[in-house]
Amino acid sequence: MSTREGKLVGRRIVITGAASGIGRATAELFAEEGASLALLDRNEAGLAGLQGTPVAVDVSNEVSVETAIDRAATALGGIEGLVNIAGIFPVAKLAETSLELWNETLAVNLTGPFLVTRAALRHLMKADEPTIVNLGSASAIVPYPELSAYGATKGGLAVLSKVWAAELGPKIRVNVVCPGMTRTRMVSDWHPDPAALAERAKQLYALQRIAEPVEVAKAILFLTSSDSSFITGSTLLVDGGRTFH
């Protein structure tokens, strides 16, 4: 058994999108590191088996978010860290992007983090060394075709993270993690053939593979823990070299 002190012992943290993929890996890692967690997702059943208080939320709905953050703060006795991970990934050519799809993507991926962060702010302001980490995407830096709405939300979130770092400093540190393709449902829906996906990764990534969810979770851990105490407003690429390759 490890005798190492966890990096988040006693820290009270809200994670959105915790039911699946990167959010689930982050919830597991943060629990191992000693955090007390409130786990928010629209798929409440998917939160089963994780350590923490499960809270149902639709991040795109203001009332749902306010209720969920109140429940999270009450369960934890405060909020010291927030990780905005919940997101959707619609792939559509520009000509086939309906206004409905566009609006839904913005509502979940961009308005969602805005609503959740705004609701959590009064709790974060009372905390010691509070942090916010947002999940952007390498696709906001090296744009992909057929990701108009998605790319716009991730580019927007990268800018929002810097605006918040400027506005909320010195009290709150705010950073954005930008992963490349990561082995989750989002990517297996996009590239259902594992052999074709592996071949694509070989061509696009310096490391010639896609990321595992825990590799992204470790970057989120770094930016949430005091190991990154002088880092704010930064964009951390976790992209296997995708953006320079």
Ligand X SMILES: NC(=O)c1ccc[n+]([C@@H]2O[C@H](COP(=O)([O-])OP(=O)(O)OC[C@H]3O[C@@H](n4cnc5c(N)ncnc54)[C@H](O)[C@@H]3O)[C@@H](O)[C@H]2O)c1
Which helix or strand (DSSP H or E) is residue 155 part of?
helix 148-168
Which 113-172 positions form the footprint of ligand X (CB under 6 A)?
135, 137
By C-beta, is 9 or 159 nearer to ligand X? 159
Determine the Cα–Cα distance for residues 217 and 4; give it in Å rounded to an integer: 19
Q: Which of 14, 20, 76, 221 binds ligand X (CB under 6 A)?
A: 20
- Which of 89, 150, 164, 205 is the catalytic position? 150
Q: How far is the CB of 47 from ligand X (least distance, A)?
A: 9
Task: Decide: is 175 part of the binding site for ligand X (CB under 6 A).
Answer: no
Task: Decide: is 26 part of the binding site for ligand X (CB under 6 A).
Answer: no
Q: Among 30-38, 53-61, 95-103, 227-235, which window interacts with ligand X (CB under 6 A)?
A: 53-61
Residue 109, CB-side half-sphere exposure with 13 Å CA sphere: 26
Alpha-carbon separation of residue 107 from 110, 160, 233 (angstroms)? 6, 15, 23
Determine the Cα–Cα distance for residues 120 and 141; give it in Å rounded to an integer: 28
Task: Decide: is 201 part of the binding site for ligand X (CB under 6 A).
Answer: no
Clarify whether 150 is annotated catalytic: yes
Q: Which residues pair with 40 in a beta bridge?
A: 16, 55
Task: Decide: is 186 part of the binding site for ligand X (CB under 6 A).
Answer: yes
Task: Decide: is 240 part of the binding site for ligand X (CB under 6 A).
Answer: no
Determine the Cα–Cα distance for residues 197 and 216; give it in Å rounded to an integer: 19
